[in-house]
Amino acid sequence: MKFLPLCILFTMGLSLSLSAQRGERDTIIPDVVERVESITQMLNQVNNTLRRGFDTTEIADELPASENLVNALNSSNLNDHRLMNIRSLYALQVILQEMEEVHAKWQKSLFAYSRTITDMSNQINNILHDTMLAQLPKDPSLQVLYTYQISRLNKKWEQADTANRNSLQRIGLLQNRVALNYISITDMLNEVNFRLRSAEQHIWQREGKNLWDTRQADYTSPFSNTFAVSMKADQRVLSYYFRHNQDIHSLNTVLFVLFLTWLLNSIRRIRKHHPDKNGIFSNTRYASHKPLLTSLLFIFTLGPFFYTNAPMVFMVLLWLIQATCVTLIIKDESPVWLRWQWFLLLFLYTAYAFFNLMMQSSFEERWAQAFLQLGTLAVCWWFLHMKRKSPLAFPAYTWLIVWVTILMTTGAFICNLTGRVMLSKFLGMSAIFSLISAQALVTLVQLLLETFYLHVEASKANSRFAAYLDFNRMQQGLRSTLYIMAGIAWLAILIRNLNIHNIIRDYTLSFLEAERKIGNTSFTFSSIFIFLVVIWFAYLISKVMIFLFGHQDPGGSVKKHRWSSAVLLLRLGVLAGGVLLAFAASGIPMDKLTIIIGALSVGIGFGLQNIVNNLVSGVILAFEKPVEIGDVIDIGNQHGTVREIGIRASRISTVDGSQIIVPNGDLLSQHITNWTLTSQLRRVELIIGVAYGSDLKKAATILKELLEKQEGVQSTPAPLVLVHQLNDSAIDFRILFWADIGSWVILKSSLLLAIYDTFGEQGIEIPFPQQEIHIKHPPSN
């Protein structure tokens, strides 16, 4: 501690004597003063950092309990093979995995703290080797002042050095304890994983006697003792897991608040601004009437997928809340018999969940499981019987889910009878929850569709984009996508309940990640799978854009919109970006892309000219916009409305309902008449003839009045009534007016009827073609 001042005083005396001998001037004063100020600031910063300390409170508080838990597990359960069945091994695996993650996080934090302290220690020690501090000014008064600053600097150095050593020692002790505990945890986790793999391989083996042969004396622990031990262990696991997953809890809370706010805001805007709010709310069954329950079901169905290595007791609590939300949402919409069946399923599920939390089987539990399994089969057969008699239309997949439940419950009952207790519990719990989760997922899909519908309707008044959305068309694709996702989620829940997700994951990963070779080229199925999935997602997004910009109004006609060409460019961009992203995500070298491009260039030269021509024509159509979606065009001898401009070809709807597929190259190479390129108006021409001798001025006045009164005739440009020509049997009037392209045929028909009736009332004759035939008889001779 005293090394710094002694060294500095020695060098000060030496410098002073040399300076007096040579008569040097005080040219070093600015450099010395600046250096002293820099070191002082550094030492102040170090002292402040060390005084505030490092946040190790959580580690110091949690580490003793973690050490005690590790010691308890090491000395008791893990060494007693009789207490370690699959259920208890899974619970132990969960808590050890959580402890491993927590200790890894602690080690990372402590390493960062230790690295920071080491860096500060190096900065403190570097002061001892700073030669600038050994130089003294010549002036005696400056020497005294400089000596005083050095002494103050020495005090700060001693303070920083002492605090740094103490902090380094404290962090080092914590690092050592955490490392020792972490090693014990990883050792136990390896042992548990080994026993689990062994138990999963022998799960089909008998664990006890047949149910009819079992006796109370066959079980060493009574049910009350098993219940107490299991509840204590489950409570410890639940407490530890809940305490160390606050980030996931916070994420789910934020998602719940956001979803509820979104739904309530949509309902509020509809009530405040929409003229047909009652009609909109009547189109929804649940979301607008029960927004809180809707949001709760959303988060308690989606939230469990965010948790990793969740213990069974935690998942059971989440699923109970989920089932309760479903009950409160659908209870008023179901017939009495279906409502009673649902309540019975909830009771059976609660009982299954209770017995599934038991660490050890018992005499009472095995008989209770048997009665629960028989009860589940009875409810399923009752449902199938009532389903045939009920007029309700159930989804097509209902029978599949019910039969899956029947088969698994039957398997669980047989396993229980033959002494395979754990397999019976897995099958029974999975069977009953397959029904509960299926109903929850189906209800959630309906709620999401209703929520999105409310959002679209609430936004139409304020957003041009939302007003343009065609929800009815978009709902078709959205419903299918949500049901596919719900089916995948249901299958994932079933696999998780059966405790075979690890086996499926390991086999799948080993199959996908195994390296394979074709010639000199090596690949894995995982890279191909990723490549195809990314391409599929890009294609799906491009199709979703078509659904978002559904160009039909409720009457079936096609709307013209200025975004139609932009949508085509966006689709091309999405597909091109998807290809590049697929190469990057799958790990396929980009030089393979150049090979593909080279192969395509050869293919273009031989037979792909038309395809490339159509693709390029699609891009040109998007930029030049000679035709857009909603335009009424004539191409060749065909007349119709452009419904879709695709990447390769476009679709045209004719007036008779047929669809014409026109390659984009033909749209550019052929002559096209676009009736709506600049406006939606079309000039209509009528030829009306009146008889010779009619009052032409009166007839023209009548025609002008009819045009002015007729709804749909545009006033600008003004309609014209002209005397066209003198025909053989009539004087023709030529009537010209402008009308909307979508209604001109109906308008023409209405106007012709009005002209005919009015001319008849006014006595103006509309002649029809006449011919005079002269018959000449031959002479009588």
| pLDDT at position 259 | 92
Is the pLDDT reported for residue 701 higher than 50?
Answer: yes
Is the pLDDT reported for residue 131 higher than 60?
Answer: no
What's the whole-number average pLDDT of the chain? 75
* Contact between 405 and 376 (Cβ < 8 Å): yes
Collapsing DSSP to helix, strand or coil, 372 comes out as: helix
Q: Average pLDDT of 688-696?
A: 85
The pair of three-digit structure tokens given for residue 293, joined into one six-digit string = 């329950």
| pLDDT at position 556 | 44
Collapsing DSSP to helix, strand or coil, 780 comes out as: coil
The pair of three-digit structure tokens given for residue 546, joined into one six-digit string = 């078509």
* Contact between 629 and 558 (Cβ < 8 Å): yes
Sign for the CA dihedral angle at 289, 293, 295, 298 comes to negative
Quote the CA–CA distance of 646 and 632 in Å, as a whole number.
17
| pLDDT tens sequence across 634-672 | 887 778 888 777 777 878 877 777 788 888 777 777 787
| pLDDT tens sequence across 38-47 | 666 666 666 6
* DSSP code, position 591: H
Quote the CA–CA distance of 222 and 202 in Å, as a whole number.
26
Which range has the worst mean pLDDT, 110-124, 324-338, 722-736? 110-124
| pLDDT at position 560 | 54
Domain residue ranges in the chain:
28-202, 220-506, 524-550+564-588, 593-677, 681-762
Distances (CA, A) of 719 to 293, 737, 740: 61, 4, 14
* Contact between 24 and 138 (Cβ < 8 Å): yes
Is the pLDDT reported for residue 75 higher than 80?
Answer: no
pLDDT band at 468 (very low <50, low <70, confident <90, very high): very low
Could you tell me where the DSSP H helices lie in 127-222?
A: 140-201
| pLDDT at position 600 | 61
pLDDT band at 14 (very low <50, low <70, confident <90, very high): very low
The closest alpha carbon to 675, from 740, 735, 617, belongs to: 740
| pLDDT at position 256 | 93
Q: Average pLDDT of 46-67?
A: 68
Residues 6+ apart with CB under 8 A from 492: 305, 501
* Contact between 99 and 178 (Cβ < 8 Å): no
Q: Average pLDDT of 114-126?
A: 66
Print burial letters for 127-148: b (CB count within 10 Å at least 16), e (below 16).
Answer: beeeeebebbbbeeeebeebee
Quote the CA–CA distance of 127 and 43 in Å, as a whole number.
10
| Amino acid letter for position 661 | I
Q: Average pLDDT of 386-396?
A: 73
| pLDDT at position 596 | 64
Q: Average pLDDT of 724-742?
A: 85
Quote the CA–CA distance of 776 and 779 in Å, as a whole number.
9
| pLDDT at position 589 | 67
| pLDDT tens sequence across 569-605 | 777 778 778 877 877 777 766 666 666 666 666 655 5
**657's torsion region: left (phi>0), alpha (psi -120 to 50) or beta?**
left
The pair of three-digit structure tokens given for residue 322, joined into one six-digit string = 């989920």
Q: E strands, 515-648, where?
A: 515-518, 521-524, 632-635, 638-645
**DSSP β-ladder status, 649-654 and 638-645:** antiparallel
| pLDDT at position 101 | 82
Q: Average pLDDT of 7-35?
A: 49
**456's torsion region: left (phi>0), alpha (psi -120 to 50) or beta?**
alpha
Is the pLDDT reported for residue 18 higher than 50?
Answer: no
Q: Which CATH class is domain 593-677?
A: mainly beta
Is the pLDDT reported for residue 257 higher than 90?
Answer: yes
| pLDDT at position 465 | 45
Q: Which carries the bigger pLDDT value, residue 772 or residue 513?
A: 513
Q: Which carries the bigger pLDDT value, residue 172 or residue 464?
A: 172
| pLDDT tens sequence across 428-462 | 888 888 888 888 888 888 888 888 888 877 776 55
Q: Average pLDDT of 320-343?
A: 84
Q: In this structure, which long-range contacts are made by residues 476-480, counting pairs with CB atoms below 8 Å and at least 24 apart in sequence? A: 476/547, 477/543, 477/544, 477/547, 478/449, 478/452, 478/547, 479/445, 479/449
Quote the CA–CA distance of 403 and 398 in Å, as a whole number.
9
| pLDDT at position 464 | 44
Quote the CA–CA distance of 20 and 25 in Å, as a whole number.
10
**pTM of the model as a whole:** 0.60
Distances (CA, A) of 49 to 35, 39, 121, 162, 605: 21, 15, 12, 13, 71
The closest alpha carbon to 650, from 633, 667, 638, belongs to: 667
Collapsing DSSP to helix, strand or coil, 309 comes out as: coil
| pLDDT at position 358 | 73
| pLDDT at position 554 | 41
The closest alpha carbon to 362, from 232, 213, 223, 224, belongs to: 223
Place of tokens 């390659």: 663
| pLDDT at position 254 | 93
Is the pLDDT reported for residue 607 higher than 90?
Answer: no
pLDDT band at 135 (very low <50, low <70, confident <90, very high): low
Collapsing DSSP to helix, strand or coil, 210 comes out as: coil
Quote the CA–CA distance of 229 and 335 in Å, as a whole number.
42
Residues 6+ apart with CB under 8 A from 63: 106, 174, 177, 178, 181
The closest alpha carbon to 287, from 451, 439, 456, belongs to: 451
Q: Which carries the bigger pLDDT value, residue 521 or residue 451?
A: 451
Which range has the worst mean pLDDT, 171-175, 269-273, 532-536? 171-175
The pair of three-digit structure tokens given for residue 462, joined into one six-digit string = 């304020």
| pLDDT tens sequence across 539-571 | 877 776 665 554 444 444 445 555 555 666 777
Q: Average pLDDT of 28-55?
A: 61
Q: Average pLDDT of 349-377?
A: 80
Collapsing DSSP to helix, strand or coil, 473 comes out as: helix
| pLDDT at position 467 | 43
Q: Show the 3-state SS of 620-635.
A: HHHHHCCCCCCCEEEE
Which CATH code for domain 681-762?
Answer: 3.30.70.100
| pLDDT at position 605 | 57
For the ranges 233-237, 261-265, 604-608, the maximum mean pLDDT occurs at 261-265
